[in-house]
Amino acid sequence: MNNQEEERLVNMEIKITQQEDLLESLNQAVYRQQKKLDELEALCTALAGRIKDMAALAAGSAGQRAVDERPPHY
């Protein structure tokens, strides 16, 4: 192998190493983002459940109040 071919080979190996490092960094970023998305989806689901429960409570309480309330002329 001559000097030029060897230098070319070394440059290719350097580029491959850099690409592997970049790929690993991107994989870590995607992993962190997916983990955060999972957390946010769980939070949204929990909040939606709480809102639904509160709406059901409010509807039930409003229905009871209307039946139990005295008319205004008493």
pLDDT, one tens digit per residue, over 1-52 is: 799 999 999 999 999 999 999 999 999 999 999 999 999 999 999 999 999 9
Q: How far apart are the first and last CA of the chain?
A: 108
In whole angstroms, give the CA distance from residue 68 to residue 54: 21
Q: In this structure, what token pair is assigned to residue 72?
A: 């205004």
Residue 64 has pLDDT above 70, yes or no: no
Whole-number Cα distances in Å, 27 to 23, 31, 32, 36, 61: 6, 6, 9, 14, 51
Q: In this structure, what token pair is assigned to residue 43?
A: 């939070």
